[in-house]
Amino acid sequence: MYSRRLKSLLQKLDGSRAAERLGQHLAEPATASDRPRFGRSAKPEAAERFWKGRPQEQAAALCDADALRSAGEYGANIENFIGIAKLPVGVAGPLLVRGLHAFGEYLIPLATSEAALVASYARGAHVITRSGGAVAALISEGVLRTPAFVFADILEAGQFVAWVAEQEAGIRAAVAATTRHGKLDEIDPVIDNDVVFLCCRYSTGDASGQNMVTLATDAVCRHLLEHAPVTPKHWFIEGNFSGDKKATYLGLMTGRGRKVSASITIPEKLIGDLLQTDSERMLAYARVAALGAQLSGQFGAQGHFANGLAALYIATGQDAACVSESAVGFTRMEPREGGLFMSVTLPNLMVGTVGGGTGLPTPRAALDLMGLYGEGKAPALAEVAASLCLAGEISIMAAIAAGHFTRAHGRLARER
């Protein structure tokens, strides 16, 4: 028997004559556009040509005079440049962090179009600061790239792995030729019959490191292919094993990027005064939330890391797609003497303070606002990012526990 959802869909398609229209479209001969392909450059004249003849209100919103003047600054970060997307930026803080690398009060810029988000993180930041600051620590770091090699059989795969284990000097030299800042920390082979994945883990300095590890791994692979005693039938720079921009069990357990944790013990009085609830109610919700995460098969168990990370990433020029893996992690809540202990752990935090989009005008200004632009600052940014996630968890869990979640979104999003 068809499900109700499928029956409903078929009825809608029949009523809208969508299938009939699709059949007509497929019967029509396809014609390719004769428009010239848009150039890759980020030159003002290319953008002006694109907008010529198009609605002026669109051009004014995406490509005003300021965008045209600054087009050259974006040449290394964009292709087919037609303008600049403008999002509002709010600030959460001051957020007091007491970490291994980050110490002090931080004003954190968040770029978002979601009403209530900045207010929620700002509330959590206020609670943390009033409670004495988040204790944060960068635990480990290492960006994975996992090339794959396909051999004739498992014997050849084993010979290749055994040989690679003896090639440390040549492999390190190949990496060193591509980067001054990156370092290959380890290679861990995974064999699946005739296929070998080499899990290459790198430290990437103050860069997020996606491009760095790709170039280094390509050099490693070409060095191995040139000297290997067996030749693979195929090889690929990434075998979809590393978890690059995906939530995976591998990343959850071994980390990809920077693993960082932050915690706070909130005094009971502040829970009542600032969050309008109590620790017993928050713990009751935490138990339900943990069960929901388990039953639904979440990677980790947390409330909304992605909200804060996406807004921080956009504001500071991080690779926004890395939120898909960075937002995996765990939130813990336990009763402690004197209050409520809360912690967050993020095993896959991909952040950098150099390279990528961090040097563009707006992201650089956002990082400068925190005092975290440039070399030597990435570990501190990771600890601040984890503390931001902690602020978000405090606020959302308290709002749900107190019954204020819907009211807050209505007041700040719908009724404002």
The verdict on whether 7 is a catalytic residue reads no
CA nearest to 329, candidates 398, 268, 382: 382
Check 43, 223, 246, 409 and give the catalytic one. 409
CA end-to-end span of the chain? 47
The verdict on whether 73 is a catalytic residue reads no
Residues in the chain: 416
The verdict on whether 14 is a catalytic residue reads no
Non-local (6+) Cβ contacts of 226 within 8 A are none
Check 238, 246, 319, 404 and give the catalytic one. 319
The single-letter DSSP state of residue 208 is: -
Q: What is the CA radius of gyration of the chain?
A: 25
CA dihedral 65, 71, 72, 76 (to 10 degrees): 170
Check 48, 114, 218, 278 and give the catalytic one. 114
CA nearest to 401, candidates 303, 262, 263, 294: 303
- Dist. CA 354–CA 405, nearest whole Å: 37
Residue 139 and residue 383 in contact, taking contact as beta carbons nearer than 8 Å: no
Alpha-helical (H) ranges within 257-360 are: 268-275, 279-296, 305-316, 323-326
Structure tokens at 7: 């029956």
| Strand spans (E) along 151-256 | 183-192, 195-203, 234-236
Check 43, 181, 183, 245 and give the catalytic one. 245
The CA-based angle 310-313-317, given to 5 degrees, is 150
| Strand spans (E) along 32-133 | 89-99, 103-111
The verdict on whether 319 is a catalytic residue reads yes
Sign of CA dihedral 172, 174, 175, 181: positive
DSSP lists the bridge partners of residue 149 as 196, 235
Helix (H) or strand (E) holding 14: helix 4-16
- Active site positions, annotated: 114, 245, 319, 409
